[in-house]
Structure 1
Amino acid sequence: MEDKLSVSSKLAYQNKRLRALLEKYKQSHHLQNALIQLSEQASTVAELTLLYPAIHDILQKYVPSKSFYVVLLNQYSQSLELSYFSDEKDGIAVALNQSNSFDEGATGYVFKQGKTTCFTKQQMQDAAAEGLFKALGTPAEHWVGVPVYQEHNIIGVLAAQSYDTKQGYSSQQIQLLEFMSLYLATAIERVKKRELLESEVKIRTRALTQSNDALNLEIEQRKRALQRQQILFKISEIATQAKNLDDAYFKIHEIIKTITYAENLYIALYDKETGWISFPYCVDEFKENTQPRRFAKGYSELVISTEETQLIHPCRAKELIESGVVQRSAPVPKEQMATSWLGAPLKTAQGVIGLLVCQAYDNKHIFSRDDCELITFVSHQIAAVLQTKLVNQAIAKSHQELEFRVNEKTKELRQTNLHLQMQIDERKKIEQQLYHDAHHDSLTSLPNRSLFLTQLEKTLQHYQRFPEHHFAVLFIDLDKFKDINDQLGHHAGDQFLINVSELFAQCIREHDLLARLGGDEFVILLTHLTEPQQAEDVANRIIDLMKKPFYLKGESLQSGASIGITYSKKSYTHTDEIIRDADAAMYHAKNSGKNRYELFHPLLTQSIPAQTLKAQHHLDILPMSFRSSEIITLDEQQQSESLFEAFGEHPILGFTSFDILKKFASDKEQHLQVELQLLQRAYAQAITANVAMALVPCSGLLLEEHEFVLFTDTLNKQQGQSQLCLLFDEQEIRHACATQIKNLKTLSQLGYSIGLNNFAKDRCELNLLTDINFDYLLLSSTFSKRVLQQESYDFQLQGVLAITKLKAMKVIAKGPSILNFRALLDKHGLAFFVGKQHALVCSELPEVQATQSL
């Protein structure tokens, strides 16, 4: 008996354990299915308004959630706002009215506590009585709220409630809600990104459509202009090619057929002295010919009297007849009445000599304003041709006795005209060939020096009027060309030049100009450039092509190209200066190892006396110059801040930059000395100008391990009321090594003011602002301009302003065009800007009063 009880208790225990495992696996299965469905919805729905109902549908399968809502934190107002609401008792209006009170209710309590909370009706009333939160809406029998996290930050609350006393929430159901909330933030982010992508695609599609419409319109206009030109040529040919008036009428009819509907056409002539209208040419589906008549009140007379083209449809015809302007001598059968009539006067210097008429019956064609415009356009040329023919005919009739002699003379004139036409055509061909030969290289057929200089002169004049339309000149000299001539002969050298010219032509755009100056020298004119890098890209393509071997006469030849590049600048006044600078850069490339390119710099052409070179190095004299400007704030009651530009100006290098120093300084030590000297002079000038803060650019070299010691020693020696803010370029800091970043942070820890210059020039990296304590942030001119043009960049700017406000950084927007957009600065939260792009020395800036909608 005891054994039976023992076995029974074991079986009961195992059954209980199996039920627990079954419930556990069932719960896991529910969780897995719910998360898979949530992931599928996040990948498929197009917008957030569809995501929340889909989540609700998923929850209703596993949790009592007919009453369900989602509340998320508004990052700008820092308040909880309703994103989705569905309730059995309370309508949507109740939820909207209470949208501003979620912070005070149970939802706000869960958001503040940051953990899942479950209440019964009595527990919620007790908690409200204790003052933990306010009771809002219809009391529920069971209520559960789960916080929604994004990484480690809570961004909202997911809540479900039941009005049934028997339908509460089990621990497994609450666990399911918690798992759903964990993946909810990720799902929302995915849908938002998809919405943004679709929006950008629509914007770009709309822009492309508008561009295509404009292009199609331009093509249509050009086609129309070409059509008119061809029509004029054909009409002009009638004067010499038509045998007689009948032939001229027939040819005119053929031309009109190419313009518009002309199955029914007649040409009428008007004799003002006799008052008669004749119809020498008539093609009509109802009339074989039209008899002459006296001037009366018909459609034709209306065209002649008004001397204007007339377009008549049935409605206008009725009005003309009712007003008495047009009168019919006899009724016209309905089937023979024109449903669309178009007549144009034939006007000459002596007046109207007739008219040209096209008409359609039974609505086979409806003439439009375009038809009217075209007929008017050609009628003047036709009138001139017919006037000539009529005069010739009158002369022929008045001199019948001389008909034979006139005919003979006419034949001679025709022969002469044909001969002259042939001579003219031949001369045009010769002139075109002479022009081509005078402006093109005979070997490669490329433009020669004369044509290139002419085009360069036009480009320079255009640039002087429109400085934003930049250009560049590439001077190319082939390497080892003399060796090719010496080894294989001049014929092979000529073939090599032809092959090279074809390769160069593949490296440029259609509107760019490639020319051969002579020998193995070529030049390229690049226009419509947006940045100097484009000219360097062309040079790189040429150099890459020239690295490949050439095969001539069965031999493999290795050549190369030395290229000099000069970019457009305001100091250029003559083409000789441009060619000179490009040539100087080319020789510098050839002397630096060949098969490479060099950008022009004044150092390449500057002549320095030999005694001066012996006495000092070209980087020894670096005077500091300051220019007065202003920094503008949006607060009109606040005075503009005093601003100065400080930058080293070398007598040879001009305005110095760190890239130029790296290129022309003989070693790193000399570069460091020049920078420290610039720093000392900027400090001295700032004290002289009596400013409290001087913003001075510095390179990443000063942050390297050994140079940093000299750098800090120099800073420690500076004394006075003015302080230096050390500006480091964002691109250099982004690629800086660990030692440089450590030293930069050390500067801030030592109490020195540091700033980040040209921020977000090509991309916006917010981690730089969070990792390093900068005092000043100078936005790049490119980013400042894009903020005013594209909404997506405004979102990035708001993120920057949020971080800088927390870090107490001063933000300055810069760029030459930003002065035109002061009214928009308040909208974007920027209070300070400057129209210069060099290093700055300014008085102490007040705190930025930027309006931020956070």
Structure 2
Amino acid sequence: MDDQKPLMGAKDVLLDALFDIAELSSEANDLASFFPMVHRIIGNLLPAENFYVALYHEFDDTIELVYMVDLADPDMTPGSVSSQDLHRGLTGYLLRSGDALLLSGDGFKQLAEKGEIAHIGPDSLDWLGIPLKLDHKIIGAMVVQSYDASTRYNEDDKQLLTFVARQVVNTLERIRHRELLEQQIMERTQALHESNQLLRREVQERKRAETFQSVMLHLSELAHSDGDPQDFYVQVHDQVSRLIDARNFYIALLDRKQLLTFPYFVDQHQLQAKARKPGKGLTEYLMRNGQAVLVTRKVRDELIQKGILDSEGTEAFHWLGGPLVVDGQVVGALVVQSYDESNRYRREDLELISFVSRSVSEALSRRQHREMLEAAKRELEAKVTERTRELEVANGALRRQMQEKAALAERHRFDAMHDALTGLANRAFFTTQLNRVLKSLSRYPNRRYVVAFIDLDRFKIINDSMGHLAGDQLLKQVAQRLQACIRETDMVARLGGDEFVILFDCVQHDEDVALVGQRIINALHQPFEIQEQQVFSGCSLGVAHLSRRYKDASDVLRDADTAMYQAKSRGRGQMVFFDDTMRENLISRFSLQNALRLAVESGQIFPAFQPIFSLPGRKLHGFELLARWPRAGGGELTPELFLEAAEETGIIVDIDTLMVRQACRQLSLWGHQLTDQPLFVSVNLSARSLQNSAFMKHLVEQVREHELTPGQLMVEIRENVLIQPSPGLDEALNALKEVGVGLILDHFGAGSATLSVLMQHHFQALKMSPHFLRQVTEHERGQSLLQSVIAVSRYLKVPLIAHGIEEENQLQAVQSMGCAYGQGEYLCQPLATAQAELMLCA
């Protein structure tokens, strides 16, 4: 029992220490004050003169020394030890192992010999480290070490410190959570403060606007009132003071002797201004210019340097004035000025001072007329009559100006919402209306709306061949026909280019939309009269139903556009309703494009060589280099599938670059290994690649770098690329010819290539479309077509390659007709690079 008393005492000390550590979550203001308190508490449990704490940051794999006391090296501070050093030392080893660690001299040597640690700091006799764990994740380490033989650590100390470390972690996490919460509260408070400031500014602006309207109304009433002039000036001063700082305010007038007088004058530095002859003061400068001006001290100094003003008088920091005009003559000025830099006038204040000066001018004019009437009544009556007539004319002109201004503003509003060419609603207006309709669907769920996306056929050809003016005329006529096909409640808009959209309101049945859609297709199928010629166009329609699943107009237009492209793929003059299948196909296509981009970047696209044989001897003549993309689960994706996606996204240029580089490399290697066997490799190129200057530069550099002889590298181009006008295509073909790259017309017979096109370019071979070979075994007409193609190649004296031989009877047919070369899976499947080399060596 006596032996248990010290043990019970140790437990009490441990419990007190754990309780004290838990209390630190409320006592410590932050982590900087927390760790010294922890050090003090641990020092009550075991010798801890040399103690430090390091935290591990998983997001960037760094170790931060947050607290350290080391009697052996007092100069060592948390900031003097780098994360890299901690990773290489015992701390890093402790964090990697994840277990409590008690080491003495032998243990240090063993770890150092194994390369687990590097020596950092002074040598200690004992080193006791405990990992700090939160939810089984290492977040740091707590370490005590001894340099004195009288202070040694044992397993009991390790267990004790491990137990204490758990409580330290819990308290540390609570302090971290509290700091994070306080930070969030501060950020939220700051956001509320900024929002409150913004609201205050808005309230102030609104109050200023209301005050401005009130001042304008009051000044207008004063201008038409009769009374003592001095009272009038005082009230004008009061009204101006409601909006701007007008502590320094005066009115200057020219009297009959042409002296400048000051009937009203209030100033902080001067009681009264004396009458004077007009000179080079700011008042005279304003009257000479005849319009409201804002003069700062800098502008005043510049005017003095130019000799326009003299330097006499009080120097105002800001000077704002408006002319007083009576009967078209400037007779005075209304001025406010500020001597304090904190009171600045703005350009917006010019509007106020202009209005006030006009009001005072009008009042002065009325008083002058009344005085003249009293002095010479009969003479003045005639002048007043004439003046009244002039004012009526001026008012009429003013009204006309106001009407013209209102009409111009209305025109600007119309232009902002409508297409300048066709007069239809533009994209912005249509999108606004469509978003409004989408929001109304929740209130009126039974109302049905439909959006139709319309794209013209052959517009680019018409625009390029006949000119932009012809294209504009076509778009105008299309707009007129579309408006004639819809109801007044429907809305038609031009999005841009040759794209139009229609919003159908209150649609009862899809059949109604289909009926209108067919009416539009028929209307646009009719010929257009453009530049005294009949021009044919046509259109394709994509239709999307509005529903509450759409968040905004762009989603609706996207789906209608998708349906329109689906209609185009079915042929011209088609209309397609959007459905979920199209959305799934769109998402699938998007995923395919993303996966293809990643495949190109990660090198998953690899070359395959399909042999081209001479017939009938089947002697190897060359290879066609094909791009292949293996599936994740085995096999390969169909080339037509991923190459079409590559063409749409522009990745085809990267694939063509890869294929050209591989072809040149292999031709160079084979040229050194097989010097006695002439061989070519052909590569299919996209029109995008041929029009890409960087790609063409790379191709030429590859040919020259690998020292290829003329005819070794061939480029295959489809008929449709040569038929459609493409900028830069001729320059690209000439560049290929200059470096000895041959040209093969691919899919010959599938398009509409004319003999002029065949004669224009020097082809090394014509590659027959596989379509002909499939027809050979189906009917006699296919054999006739094949004979025609072979006859054309003989006429041009250009070898013909039968492409797509998949059966014995196809091979027999092309051989019997005298086709010079053949290619297809029946003769040989595409080969990997190593397999192609084996075939060459066989």
TM class by shorter-chain length? 0.3 to 0.5
User: Which of these two proteins has the greater Rg computed from alpha carbons?
Assistant: 2
Whose relative contact order is higher, 1 or 2, with alpha carbons under 8 Å and at least 6 apart? 1
